[in-house]
Structure formats: C-alpha cells, structure tokens
Structure 1
Amino acid sequence: MGPFMGSEAVSAGVVTRYQLSTRYEKVYRNVYVPRGYRMTSADKAFAAWLWAARRATLAGLSAAALHGSKWIDAHLPAELNQPHRHKTNGILLHSDALTDDEICVVGGLPATTPARTAYDIGRRRGLKTAVIRLDALMQATDLKPVDIELMADRHRGARGLLQLREAVSLADAGSESPQETLTRLILTDAGLRPKRTQINVFDNDGEFVGRIDMGWDDWLVGVEYDGAQHWEDPDVRAKDIDKQAEYEALGWRIVRVSSDMVRRRPHVIVERTRAALRAAGAPV
C-alpha cells in the first residue's frame, strides 16, 4: 500500500483510528503510509497531491519522477504548482501560470508536460545537475531538445534561461546514469565531446556484441563507465573482460572509467581518451 488519505481510509472502514496511529506514519497532514514504507520520489509526489486535496499540478522534480525520470533523490521535497496554498514541510510550492498545453495527465495525475518540466528544472542553479536531470528526463520520455528550446522561447526574459539553453546544448538522451553524464561532460569540457552515446557493436557475422556508453564509432574509440557492480560482482566482471576482448578483436579501443576517476582524476579520463583517439588517427 502506498500513500493514502487517513480520513478516507477510516471512513471507508479500511483502517481504524487506532490502527492509523499505530501501524502507519504520517507523511503530510492526513496523508499516511505503512510504517517502514520506503517512499520513492514518485510516491512522495502522489502523497503531496493528496495533501493538496487532489487540486494541484505536480511540477519540477515531482513531475519528472512521474514521467519516469530516474536518479531523483527521494529525500528532496515534493513539488506542486498551486497558488494560494499554505506551506508545509517537505513540499515546495510554485505559483506559476501554466497554459493548458503545459499540463498533461500521467497515471491519472496532473503534471507539467516533459517540455515544461525540463524548462523548470533546467533553469535551477547548477549546470551539471541540470544536465543530469535533463538527460534523465529525455531518457524517460520522447522529449527532444527543440521542445525545450520552444518552451524557453515562449518564456523569454525568465530567470535562468542562459543556463537552460547551455544545459540543453549539453544534454543527451543516451545517458543511462548520472556518472555517464558527468563522464561525457568531462570530455566535452576538454573539447572531446563524444560523437554518439549507446553505440551498438556487432561482430563480422552481424551478431550483437555489446553496447558502448559513448564514443566515436567512426574511429572505433569508446568510453565505458564502470559502476560498482562491474568491480564487485564476479559474474559481471567476467563478462566485461570477455566483452573487452571482443571489442579489441573488432578494432575498438575502449577507455574504462571508474567513479574515482570521475570524482578525483578527471584529467586521466581526458588523457586516456585523447591518446586512444590519436592512436586511431583522429585529428585531436
């Protein structure tokens, strides 16, 4: 059972007032979840909508979560667009004037459209965070950069548009994790923006070998971000070793990236990628 309104559950006889106070915990006023329930960002969005008596529009990160964006911290506040509402802890309220084509229904809940959501979250301070969030939203929906640019044109003069436009120019729907986004940004900052993301590789017989996170398929140079599972899971590690050998047999040069390199040694990523491209004959 996810979030529900306590008064409605009691009236319907689903729970008693005693059970409500002992077996459930309050998320917001009159909104409860079972004790120990682990709330996702989408759960928190639904709970906030219930708190608003089902009259608000989900916005910002809550709308992004509803659209399927991953990597949203469930500890961040839920976001609603609803003017003239009393504030409450754990909910960020907006009072923007939304046009009809900036609102849609997702899973029965009103939310800002992907384009409007991108416009909102992409203007918030922090370019890297904005790109990560745009990548995730574009990965989850059919949102295109031009859709966000049109929304920005509609709201000329709004705060944060310069960052939004830069974030859109850096965004890529092929990113499958924040670390992949950060890796791509490190390379882009060094003038080595990958030509493609999620590159499918096939052997000489047309059999699928694997998918490379990002790279230059014209030069057969790829960059792979290895998350914790690639180092800690023996089965995954064994498959990685075999796949690396297959890539190399097909002429690929693969630069492998770790979280430590992203956090502390970005120059190593740049140096190794540039060296691989030079070895392949690329004009860098």
Structure 2
Amino acid sequence: MERSSHRVVRRQQALAAGYSDEEIRRRYTRGEWQRLGHGAYIEAATMSALDAPARHLLAVDAVLPALAPDAVLSHGTAAVVHGLPLWDAPLDRVHVTRDRPSGGRTGADVVVHASPLHGSVTTIGGYRVTSPARTVVDLACSYGVESAVVAGDAAARTLAVGSRELSAEVTRAGGRRGVQAARRAAALVDARCESVGESRSRVFFEAYDLPVPSLQHEFRDGGGYFLARVDFYWAEYGVIGEFDGRTKYGRLLRPGQEPGDAVFAEKLREDALRELGYGVVRWTWADLGAPEVLAARIRRALHSRIPFPHPRGD
C-alpha cells in the first residue's frame, strides 16, 4: 500500500501557520480534528472517509519522525503496508521491530518489539518494513495461527511468498514465544485460498480434526462443460463445502447483473451439483463463531450424505 496522500497536521506546523495551542485543543475538543499521535492531527471529515488500513497508514506517518532510525514497521502495520488482510490483529497502535534481543515496550501510539531481523527487511512506498514472510511469522507469534494464515494465504497468492521462505523464517524464529503457532501457520498457508473466510475455514478444519479438502475444485457436467468451481471438496465423501461471506456474491456479479441474480445463479449451480449426486454444506461468518456446532454439522454431512438445510447466507 502506498504512502498516504492525506495531510497530517503537526503541532509545530500549525503553530507556524498562526494557530495557538488553545485553538488546536479547541478544534480537537469540538471533533473537527482527530489525533493521530503525539502532536499530530487530521481533519475529522477526512478521517471518517478512510478505511481502517488507510487510517493506520496515517498513524504511521504521524509517528515516523519520532521513531528510532533502526525501527522497522512490523506485525499488523507491515501487513497493511504489504496490502495483506488482517484478522484479530489490532491496529490501534503502530508496530515496529528493532533489531536487538531485548528492550521492547508499549507506548500510547507505538508498540516496539525487540527481535533479531536477520535481514528480513524491505522498502515499500518509502516505508521500511519486515518482509512478507517475516510479517506472517510475526503475526503467528503474537496473535496466533488464524491471523497468520489469513495474511499468509494472501501473501502466497498475491506476493508469491513460498513455503521455503516461510519455513526459513520459522527456523529463524527459533526460541521466540509463539513459534509453534508459526510452524502450524506455515504448514497451512496455501495460495489457492481466495478470501479471509476461506482461510479461517481451513484453520478451523485443522483445529477440529476435520478431513483436509481440496481447494477450488472444478466440476463439469456429463457433457464435459464447466459447471462450477467450489471453495472446498471432500472427494472421498462426495461433499462440497462453501463459505458464504458478505462479499462472495459481489465477486460473482457479471456486468449489469444484480445481487439477486447472482444469488439465484448460485442456487441453480448448487441444484445442478446435487443432481450430479454431490452433497453440499454451507457456512457463514456466524457459523465460524460457533465452531463446535459447525464441526458437528460438517461431520454429519461427510458421513451420512443426507442433505442438510442450508444456513441463511449473509
């Protein structure tokens, strides 16, 4: 992600432009300006129009002048710069890593991690950041397998991060706390995974000892014509798994097509798959929030081949 083009107002700049400290406080108190970091502000209207990653980049720009010269953007902050999706990784503070064995600290605006970097640093859009593979390992060590796989699948798909790179970073992580989560995540990362929901689903399969499905499997009808490509397929059981997220049907839209058309087309596709003898089980974000219930439902689908009612899609 490129450096933000939105203007950060720094206290010294505001004073030089004729504002008093009282006027700065008044604008902040009235909600006209929002604070990004110590002595750094932005207009509230500008801030409200930005998504979370863009807001975080503004926070990065606000704190950069005060960072130590050897500080490298890392963890969730590095993921934002790389354009990777995040799950369960906070963006309330800027995260940096300094190449030293100890001395980490948490401040109001910045979390400083202390860890050998082993040269796993790159520059993107003027920012010095940890490499994509190192970023995935950092996310695993700090926040767990799910956070790492969500970012790691995207890194493998969009940035060509390979298993060797991830394995090398896990090895370098050695005695770090959380390295076991990093090993699990590195083994799960797969470039074929196309969404956060699919990534979370795969972590869920592993956590609940469900059989490993094939990904993005293509089906064809009796005449050999393409019928569908599905998220997950358990070939041994003849069961298809589909994650239904809020953005899924938007991705399926063709030019001029309405969301309702895409939903109807998806139903026809599923009907055709059932007619071919396949079982289909679907789940949503809410279902992933009740994993034991979902695991039981998938096991029933796998072992009984009896059609089950679909959960309501988002």
Unaligned runs of 5+ in 1: 278-284
SS at match of 2:152: helix
Q: More deviation in 113-122 or 217-226? A: 217-226
Asked if 1:96 is matched to 2:111, the reply is: no
Structure-2 separation of matches of 1:10 and 1:160: 44
Q: Is the 8 A contact 1:67 1:140 kept in 2?
A: no
Q: Call closer, same or farther: CA 1:204–1:141 in 2, change over 3 Å.
A: farther
Question: Cα offset for 1:20?
Answer: 6.3
Structure-1 separation of matches of 2:134 and 2:91: 23
Question: Cα offset for 1:241?
Answer: 0.7
Number of residue equivalences: 273
Aligned amino acid, residue 80 of structure 1: V
Structure-2 separation of matches of 1:190 and 1:103: 36
Q: More deviation in 112-121 or 68-77? A: 68-77
Structure-2 separation of matches of 1:205 and 1:182: 35
1:187-266 correspondence to structure 2 within 5 Å: 187-188=205-206, 189-194=208-213, 196-202=214-220, 208-216=226-234, 221-228=239-246, 234-249=260-275, 252-264=278-290, 265-266=293-294
Q: What's the Cα RMSD here?
A: 3.6
Structure-1 separation of matches of 2:13 and 2:298: 55
Structure-1 separation of matches of 2:141 and 2:134: 11
Q: Identify which of 47, 56, 59 aligns with 2:74.
A: 59
1:1-284 correspondence to structure 2 within 5 Å: 2=6, 4-6=8-10, 10=14, 17=19, 22=27, 23-36=32-45, 37=47, 38-53=50-65, 55=69, 56-72=71-87, 75-82=91-98, 88-100=107-119, 102-124=120-142, 126-188=144-206, 189-194=208-213, 196-202=214-220, 208-216=226-234, 221-228=239-246, 234-249=260-275, 252-264=278-290, 265-266=293-294, 267-276=296-305
TM-score, with structure 1 as normaliser: 0.77
Aligned amino acid, residue 40 of structure 2: V
SS at match of 2:212: coil
% identical equivalent positions: 20
Structure-1 separation of matches of 2:192 and 2:12: 43
User: CA-to-partner distance for each residue in 1:150-198, whole Å, 9 max, x for gaps?
Assistant: 112234333322221122223333333443233323433334111x222
TM-score, with structure 2 as normaliser: 0.71
Q: More deviation in 205-214 or 258-267? A: 205-214
Question: Cα offset for 1:24?
Answer: 2.6
Unaligned runs of 5+ in 2: 250-258, 307-314
Q: Call closer, same or farther: CA 1:105–1:69 in 2, change over 3 Å.
A: same
Aligned amino acid, residue 110 of structure 2: I
Q: Is the 8 A contact 1:186 1:270 kept in 2?
A: no
Q: Call closer, same or farther: CA 1:141–1:155 in 2, change over 3 Å.
A: same
Structure-1 separation of matches of 2:56 and 2:74: 12
Question: Cα offset for 1:51?
Answer: 1.1
Aligned amino acid, residue 162 of structure 1: Q
Q: Is the 8 A contact 1:261 1:268 kept in 2?
A: no
